[in-house]
Structure 1
């Protein structure tokens, strides 16, 4: 393995087991990124429903962070591919050593079968061959697992990239639509504020007019009250005057009636004592007086009738 390959911010794993563990970490990070994308989608749905849950600056920062995360994942996958390639080279080198060791075993057996040292060397070489075979088999299995994990992660990464691209486009569309909605809501709010201001002005004008009209009504009511009071006093004075005039006219009428009755009696007595010619004269005079009395009586009756009305 190459120990100098440290292009990323983190040191690369040196064994296939460490590489598999790193793949598991990358898968976990991929899952977290998916959860973050789902969270952003929910936020955008809330934003589409009129809830301002994500500001435009936060949205832009989140998009930049996700783009950086994608670039970092691509870089890590490239380093993982390079590490797998180095693992393949190491397996090829071990396989070559295994073939050389297997080729050296017969030669050692032919040259020094009688020598104990050569026999020990052969046994050591055979043990080394077995160890190399086991190591090669283990490396093959780890490499296969790493390749499978790499293929799965590459497929997941491609799907995630596509999902990220779609989410990014969706975020852009929703961001533009959200900006338009915010502008519309601001315009609507300004319109409502203008309407509210106008309504307040109209209400204040109406209140001012009501106060002015109320003052005028109060002044007119005071004037009407004073006029009604004056008319009431005048009516009382006229009624008292009418009562006095009526009492006076009634007293005069009674006096006139009494005087006329006494005068009528007097004339009857005088007529009875007078001679015939004088009686005729006096009768005509009495008739005239009776007519005058009747006229006076009619006038008095008319005055009484108007008093009752």
Structure 2
């Protein structure tokens, strides 16, 4: 897999394209041979909405590439360029490894490359990808998905994780870790790690359950249950579950669990409180319970999450 082609197009985003170039396009003599890297795309297009594209190769460069990389696009509502879609499809059909970074997954989906496959993209656009391309098994929670010859990543930094993962596959973990140190980025995160996205159900004025949501958020430290919420709403648990799910898209129990996890994340990021104390504050009872649910939700333990997102603001003393 030595020949790598980065397929730029009018509307492609700058960050992911540059990240792919830094990984595959610069020979730092970490392995021999490194990648034969090319950039292709239209003449006089715009990268990142402002940087003019004048690439040395056209899309015919994809015809002999071992690996094709499609970076993200700035408008997921627009149809991707038809010539790019055709070129990606042809490269896939002849056996090339196809990678998308962030919303580049929309190009792969348009080419039919993702049909019947598990894939991911930036969490904010995962629902749109699933709606538009129902044959794609969209996983909105992971950093990247490796389906062998088809690989997709979540947004921004997750694209770097995928690129480093590919280096690991091609050259081994030692080379990938050396490259990460050279780029002054952390060693790549496993693809199954969760995207750190906060998507709480808002309790804005006028929401059908605004009073209930506010009441619960003020009492997350208490051992609340769905019957507790139902009593507060003057409903039966069954009726609450039905109406709450219709109004919010999630069950009351899942919403409550999400609020507890989000509160734990906030405390991990902004305070020095110990795990046992945070478990109490979020209604999870014990550190063991918090660790189990936190890892299940975000696929990293609380301590690792804290190290990654520790706020510079500091916080209370460890308890």
TMscore range, shorter length: under 0.3
Larger RCO, structures 1/2 (Cα 8 Å, 6+ apart): 1
Q: TM-score, normalised by structure 2?
A: 0.20
| Bigger fraction of residues in helix | 1
- In our comparison, the structure showing a higher alpha carbon Rg is 1
| Bigger fraction of residues in strand | 2
